[in-house]
Structure formats: structure tokens, C-alpha cells
Structure 1
Amino acid sequence: MDEATSARRSSENLLDERLIERCEAIPERPEPGQYVVIDTMHFSNTVIELLAKGAAHIHITDERGNEFSYRERYPDAVLGGGSTDEYEPADGYDFFNSPSYVQRLDVDGSPVSMTSSNGGRAVACLRARAGDDVDVFVGSTMNAAALGEYLRGQDGQVHLVSSGSKGEVAVEDHIGATLVSRYLDGVPVSETELDLFRRQLETAKGHDYTETHDLRRRDVREYAMNVNSRDVLPKLVGDSLVDVSVAPDEAAAEEQAAD
């Protein structure tokens, strides 16, 4: 990055140039660069927590149900799927998209296979459409600072995919994208702004969302609202996400994804 570009980025936020507002808006032919998939509630935070707990890698399926064929190849795989009305994993699955639920799992050293209707779909879409000149990451409010600072040292344009929900924009994903963009540009985020973002996150899915179940209350308050609580950097290598904060070079990342 040249000095002029660095100086410009230190004084302005380039979010509008980077933002893809919904996963449905991902280009048919993504231009080269770094793509960050943001699905704050709850795919991104579930991915972050699984890797923080030591998962070897997280295989992203093209569609829900393919996780079982993955387990046929990797019998020790931990599978993520849908949830029941009682917030338990659907039949045959070990967990669902919930960063607080996965705290119950022992995934240290194990492969994981999962997807989601928005964030997981966005990762799979980019994997299918992008060439070798595209890198895919997963971000959220939880790792915004670590990811923004990491991407500042990478080459190429950054694109922030705010995954959305059922084809609509999602406030919580836009907040995650805003934070990643600000840290990428080196534009400080004040405590007043962070407090505002946290209040918006608490009600992003409806004023009574955190009252639907204790698990969802924890998902929002202890994870989504816990801004910059993780340094995990999920990056897509092949079909799987690995944490490049612990496998920073490409060879190590490929080995981790293949384990």
C-alpha cells in the first residue's frame, strides 16, 4: 500500500466501496481481492468459537444434509445442522449455529462440518464462483479488530459481504461490516459508538429476541455484543475454514485444512 493510500485510509472509512449488502448480491464473477463473509447471528460467531475451542478445521457444505457424507470420510467429524423448537440439535447433528451451545462440545483436534442458510451459503457461493485470486474470510463483531488489522497487511481490495437474512439486509451484519472496515482503515471506534452498536445488536432481531430462550440471550449478549473478544481469523482453504492466526503461512493452513 503506497503512502498516499495509507494516509487517505487513515482519515476516512471506505465501507461504501467495500460493502456487498446481501449474500444474494455476490457477483457471478467476483473480482480479485479479500472477501469477508459476515453473518453475526449466528454462523460467524459459531465458526469463531469452534476454532477457538481447537477444531482442526470447519468444512463448509454446499447444502444442509451433506455433513453426513463428510462424516463417512471422517468418522470423528463433529456435525452442525438445524435446531429443534427446544433449541437442541436436529436429529443426527451434534450442534447448531449457536456460539453458546458449542461451548458444550469437545472439538479439540476434530474436524467439523456445517453450513447455514446465509453465512454458510455465502462462503460456499464464493468458493464456487471465485478464482485463485480471491481469499475468503469469516468475520463478525467478535473478531472485527483482529481481522481488520490483519487485512490491512494483505494485498488487494477488501469486500465485506453482509450476509443478510432471507434476502433482506441484516442490521447485525452491517454493524460487523462497519467495525471491520473501521479497523481496516485505522479509524478509531469510540466507546460511545461501541455502546450504540451493542444496543443495536441486542434488538437487531426484534425487541423480544433475547427473551425467546436463555441460549439465544447468551448468543447475543455474551457473544455478538462482546465486541473484539476474539483474535481468531477464519480463512477458507480448499473446502474448509482454518484459523490463520495460528497457521499464518499458506502451507501450514493447507496442512491444517487437510488434517
Structure 2
Amino acid sequence: MSRDAPTNGLDGRLIERCEEIPAEPPTGDYVVVDVLHFSNTVIELFENGADYVHITDERGEEPAFKAERPEARIGGATTPAYEPEPGYDFFNSPSFVQDLDVEGRPVSMTSSNGGRTVARLRAVVDPASEVYVGSTMNAGAVADHLRGNGRTTYLVSAGSRGDVAIEDHVGATLISRALDGIPLATAEREVFRRQVKVAKGPGYAQKNELRRRDVCEYALAFDSRAVVPRLADDSLVDAARPETEHAAD
């Protein structure tokens, strides 16, 4: 490599798990990456017209949000039959929310990994910092939004219940490469796609039709979305929309 060749800044940007977020993080832009499936569900909620996505501190707080806003849609856990738990409208699945009426509506949700990471950052970052949600699907859009703003970007792989999650590292790598202007070679793209597809086990994408779609039609759809979820107070808004369209309270 020549002295002037671009280098990937991932090593200086990556926080490998939610549990490694510092107690007093430095000022910067923090991008939460939870590819399977929180990030992609949030992206698709905005893609389908959600007004904003409120992130609860704990699972179980969503019904209270809906009680105050009857028009809201709320997300919870899934049953073994891949249906939302009673009282909830959806669960973490970009495929499932395609049939959910969210146009112009607020949404409330969390998850054990990505949602928890957003809530953790919300509690500890200073007011000058920003928190975003990224994935394989919107890596280029997030990078375009952040590039050149003069602040350090930190890519936070949410992980899986305390363990490192390879699919989150793939998402973080795509964002980092886009920030540095280093395009993926064809062979690299195929390696990354294969890593995401088998990240939760070689048979994960075949265990259920919904999960197959979550992986193959969404997680593997690199750079297919222009949505840029950004935390505003306790809710995510789409920073790619005109500010007049945001109505988060």
C-alpha cells in the first residue's frame, strides 16, 4: 500500500459491545449498529412513514406510551409462532412491520441489544453528542450524513446479550469504509454477505419464513435505504427528512 492510500479508521471508531460504552463517553457522534434486527426494524418503520420511534428504558413500558397516545404502534417480544405478544402490534422484524400501519404515527419499542444500547448512550453521552442508528441497509446514508461535520464518529456494535455479534461488526465496517471513502471490492461484499447470513447460525435464515426475509431481503440489502435515525430527546427521528416533518415530543 502506498503512503497516500486510504486507510480504514474502524479500529479507532469501534466499540465492540454495549457493555464497553464508557461511563463518560467523549463528545462525538455515536452510531448504534444492531443488524439482526433492531436497526433494520427502525429503518423500515421510518421507510413506511412512522412519525418517530420512542425508545423505552425497559421492555414493558410501551403500553403506557400507547395509553397516552392511542394512535401509537408499540413493539414487544415475539411468541414462538412469530406473532407479537398480546397487547403489542409488532416485534423486532423488518419483514413483519411491512404490514403495519405506521404512516404518520408515533411508535414505541426497545430490544435487548440495540434498544438497550440506545438507552445506555442516551443516559451517558454529553449534550454536545449525537446518537444515530445504523446498519448494513443505510451504511452509506449514515456516512454521508456524518462525513465532514468535524466530530469523531464512534460505531457501537450492540452485540448479543453481552457477546460480540459479527453481523454488527459487518454493519460497522460498512459505515466506516463509507466514511473513509473506501469502496467494497466484489469479493469483500460477498464475504460480508456470507458473514451476515450465517451470523446467528448456518440454519437461522431457514428456521422461519419471516426470519429468512429479515436476513435475505433486508440485512443483506446493503445500502438500500436513505433513512438516518437520530436520537432527539427520548425518540428517534429520521434526520434525512426535513425538520418540519418531525413531531417527536
* Residue identity opposite 1:96 in structure 2: F
Q: Unmatched 5+ residue regions in structure 1?
A: 1-6
Quote how far apart the aligned CAs of 1:155 are: 2.6
Q: Does residue 33 in structure 1 map to residue 24 in structure 2? A: no
Q: Aligned with 1:65: secondary structure?
A: coil
What is the TM-score when the length of structure 1 is the normalising length?
Answer: 0.93
CA–CA separation in structure 2 for the residues paired with 1:242 and 1:191? 33
What aligned pairs does 1:26-175 form with structure 2 within 5 A after superposition?
A: 26-175=21-170
Quote how far apart the aligned CAs of 1:154 are: 2.0
Q: Is this contact kept in 2: 1:33–1:155, CA < 8 A?
A: no
What is the TM-score when the length of structure 2 is the normalising length?
Answer: 0.96
Q: How big is the alpha-carbon RMSD for the aligned residues of Structure 1 and Structure 2?
A: 1.4
Residue in 1 aligned with 2:187? Answer: 192
Q: 2:214 aligns with which of 216, 219, 243?
A: 219
Q: Aligned with 1:112: secondary structure?
A: strand
**More off after superposition, 192-201 vs 75-84:** 192-201
* Residue identity opposite 1:256 in structure 2: A
Q: Does residue 180 in structure 1 map to residue 175 in structure 2? A: yes
Quote how far apart the aligned CAs of 1:202 are: 0.8
Quote how far apart the aligned CAs of 1:192 are: 1.9
CA–CA separation in structure 2 for the residues paired with 1:50 and 1:154? 27
* Residue identity opposite 1:141 in structure 2: T
Deviations 1:41-79 (A, max 9, x none): 000000000000000000000000000111122111100
CA–CA separation in structure 2 for the residues paired with 1:81 and 1:154? 35
Q: Is this contact kept in 2: 1:44–1:140, CA < 8 A?
A: yes
Deviations 1:185-232 (A, max 9, x none): 111112221111111111010001011100000000000001001010
CA–CA separation in structure 2 for the residues paired with 1:192 and 1:211? 24
* Residue identity opposite 2:87 in structure 1: G
Where is the helix percentage greater, Structure 1 or Structure 2?
Answer: 1
Q: Is this contact kept in 2: 1:38–1:177, CA < 8 A?
A: yes
* Residue identity opposite 1:61 in structure 2: T
User: What percent identity do the matched residue pairs reach?
Assistant: 56
Runs of 4+ in 1 over 3 A off after TM superposition: none
* Residue identity opposite 1:62 in structure 2: D
